[in-house]
Each structure stands twice: as structure tokens, then as C-alpha cells.
């Protein structure tokens, strides 16, 4: 049976009496403790299963790192799962899952958050399946737990507080603001009324699409630089450190493509750019604007050098 959220109120829009609110608050605290206990148990079992960052989100949902070998698929099967849902950008090992009697569903999401279209797919996945489902990204710490927590909300109406607790227990990075914000997604009934088609292998962003995302983030970083590494007046929602993190993650995902067309110097520039974006993010988090300016300039130059060799001079 799915756990239901605790609602502060008496059902007619009025606040409950003080004594009732105290009781509801106590129940809410108990619920959080129970969630933490479930996740602690699952984490304790991680060493036994071999699955990294394993947590139990609800009666039906586990979250963890992506399976890498047959032993991982065996471990997922032993959890009682008959469905694996990947939110990673890499192609799922569909055949390996089938060999263990499990179905794969692929809903790739980004580090910048979960769209309503993707949320509708998560809802459909919970509706289309029965039994235990294992949701994973690559490492099982950021995108996977966020998708698992939102899937729990969509399938059980659990509270935002309970969903957010999942991310806390998974140690999802606070810098991934879009993933945390997704826990507050509104009008869930409308998402449940959508019935998107689910696939085992979804189309993911190719190199060109990733580069567009990087260019857009770099443009926002440039505006922040001109504003003294603060949110530019025309874009008050821009967080410079967040933008640097997105650039870092995009370069990291390009490195996971394993495209044979990439030349050795391309890999070197990509790795350099990822490292510079990481340093820039650390500068911005510590308000080291002098170092930030240096690393931003180096990152721009790295991009220009790579473009000259691999984009601008193509025949």
C-alpha cells in the first residue's frame, strides 16, 4: 500500500484546530523518519547487492546507479523489480534486462530539471507497470532520485516534503536546482490524464544538440560576467554557478558518447573544457571573481580552438 501524504487542513480550506495541527505535524515527522529508515535499510543493503547509491523510495520504487554488468541486473531482479526505468542519456542495455525477465523504459532527462512532458512519461510508466520498478541515472545520485521521487508523487500523491526528503537522503546536489524544483511540480492530475507512448530506447541529444545547450549556457555566463558575476538585470533568474555546472555536465555527457568519429585532440579539448567549467563553478561558489574571469577566458579559448579544428574548417 502506497503511503499517503499528510495534509494540513480539515478538507474545506480551513486550518485545523491547534491540537489537530500538532498531531498532523507529529505524523509528518514520523513519516519522514519512516522514509529515512526505509532508505537507510536500502543503503545498508547496497553493499550486499553491489548496486551503488541504492535507496528505497516507496513500496514500489527503488533508485540507484545504472547497471553495468550481469551481476547488477541480477541484483536488481533480486530486489523484486520487473521493470527498469533509465533517465540517463546512454542507451539502455535492453537485451541484458530482457535476459533477466525485465522490461526497460527510457525517459532521458537533463541535469537542469524535469519537463512536464517527461513527468507525464514517468506517470505513464507507473500506470503501465505493476510490481517493483528500479529507476536509475548514471551514478544514481542526482537525476535518478529526482525522477524516482517525482514518480512517487505522481503515483501516490505523496507530499512535496516527502519527495524532497528522497533527494536529501540521496545527497542530490543542491546546485541541481531544476531537479529540486521539480518536486514542486503543480497540477499533477493533468499529467496523469496524458498518455504518452513509452519506449525502451529514446532518442537522446547528439553532439550538435549538446553544443547548442553549451553555447546557450556560455552566453548566459557572459552576461553574468559583464554584470560582475551576478545575475544580469535582463535575466534575474540566471545563477552563474548553476550555468557553469550545466556546461560542466554537458561536456561530461559528450565524453560518454564514445563516438568513434571523435579525434584524439577533440577528446583532449573536451576533457580540458569540462575541467575548466568545474573550476569556474568553484570560483563562482566562493565568489573568487578574479579566478573566475581567468577560467572563463580559458574556457572560451578552449572552445574556440576546438571549433577551429573540428567545426569551422570542415569542408
Q: Beta strands 81-86 and 132-136: pairing type?
A: parallel
Give Cβ neighbours of residue 214 (< 8 Å, ≥ 6 apart): 247, 250, 251, 303
1 burial (CB, 10 Å; 0-12 / 13-18 / 19+) is: exposed
Minimum mean pLDDT among 13-17, 99-103, 229-233: which range? 13-17
Which of 35-44, 231-240, 251-260 is most confident?
231-240
Share of the chain above pLDDT 90, in %: 62
Could you give the CA distance from residue 150 to residue 164 in angstroms, rounded to a whole number? 9
Q: Which domains does the chain have, with CATH numbers?
A: 34-193 (3.90.190.10), 207-312 (1.20.120)
Q: Which residue has the higher pLDDT, 25 or 308?
A: 308
Q: What is the average pLDDT score of the chain?
A: 84
Minimum mean pLDDT among 18-27, 207-216, 250-259, 301-310: which range? 18-27
Q: Give, in degrees to the nearest 5, the angle at Cα 305 between 303 and 306.
A: 65
The predicted structure's pLDDT at residue 256: 83
Q: Which three cell numbers stand for residue 50?
A: 553491489
The answer to whether the beta carbons of residues 145 and 47 sit under 8 Å apart is no
Could you give the CA distance from residue 96 to residue 67 in angstroms, rounded to a whole number? 10
Minimum mean pLDDT among 18-27, 170-179, 180-189: which range? 18-27
Q: Which three cell numbers stand for residue 109?
A: 532527462
pTM value surpassing 0.75: no
Quick one: DSSP state of residue 67?
A: P
Which tens digit of pLDDT belongs to each residue from 139-165?
Answer: 999 999 999 999 999 999 899 999 999
User: What is the rounded average pLDDT of the residues 247-273?
Assistant: 81
Which tens digit of pLDDT belongs to each residue from 44-81?
Answer: 454 466 899 999 999 999 999 999 999 999 999 999 99
Which of 135-173 are b and which e, b meaning 16 or more Cβ less than 10 Å from the residue's Cβ?
A: bbbbebbbbbbbbbbbbbbbbbebbeebbbbbbbbbebe
The predicted structure's pLDDT at residue 51: 93
Amino acid at each position: 500500500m502506497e503511503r499517503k501524504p499528510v495534509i494540513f487542513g480539515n478538507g474545506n480550506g480551513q486550518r485545523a484546530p491547534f491540537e489537530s495541527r500538532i498531531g498532523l505535524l507529529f505524523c509528518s515527522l514520523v513519516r519522514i523518519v519512516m522514509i529515512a529508515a526505509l532508505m537507510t535499510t536500502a543503503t545498508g543493503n547496497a553493499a550486499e547487492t553491489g548496486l551503488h547509491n541504492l535507496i528505497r523510495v516507496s513500496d514500489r520504487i527503488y533508485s540507484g546507479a545504472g547497471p553495468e554488468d550481469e551481476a547488477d541486473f541480477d541484483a536488481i531482479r533480486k530486489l523484486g523489480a520487473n521493470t527498469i526505468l533509465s533517465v540517463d542519456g546512454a542507451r539502455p542495455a535492453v537485451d541484458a534486462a530482457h535476459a533477466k525477465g525485465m522490461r526497460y523504459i527510457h525517459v532521458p532527462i537533463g541535469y537542469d530539471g524535469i519537463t512536464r512532458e517527461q513527468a507525464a512519461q514517468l506517470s505513464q510508466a507507473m500506470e503501465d507497470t505493476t510490481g517493483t520498478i528500479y529507476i536509475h541515472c548514471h551514478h544514481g545520485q542526482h537525476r535518478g532520485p529526482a525522477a524516482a521521487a517525482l514518480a512517487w508523487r505522481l503515483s501516490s500523491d505523496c507530499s512535496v516534503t516527502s519527495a524532497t526528503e528522497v533527494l536529501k537522503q540521496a545527497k542530490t546536489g543542491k546546485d541541481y536546482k531544476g531537479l529540486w524544483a521539480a518536486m514542486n511540480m503543480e497540477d499533477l492530475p493533468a499529467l496523469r490524464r496524458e498518455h504518452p507512448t513509452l519506449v525502451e530506447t529514446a532518442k537522446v541529444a547528439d553532439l550538435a544538440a549538446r553544443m547548442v545547450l553549451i553555447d546557450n549556457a556560455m552566453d548566459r555566463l557572459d552576461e553574468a560576467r559583464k554584470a560582475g558575476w551576478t545575475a544580469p538585470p535582463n535575466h534575474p533568474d540566471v545563477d552563474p554557478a548553476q550555468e557553469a555546472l550545466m556546461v560542466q555536465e554537458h561536456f561530461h555527457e559528450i565524453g560518454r558518447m564514445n563516438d568513434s568519429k571523435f579525434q584524439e585532440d577533440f577528446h583532449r579539448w573536451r576533457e580540458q573544457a569540462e575541467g575548466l567549467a568545474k573550476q569556474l563553478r568553484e570560483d563562482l561558489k566562493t565568489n573568487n571573481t578574479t579566478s573566475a574571469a581567468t577560467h572563463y577566458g580559458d574556457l572560451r579559448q578552449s572552445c574556440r580552438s576546438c571549433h577551429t579544428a573540428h567545426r569551422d574548417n570542415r569542408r
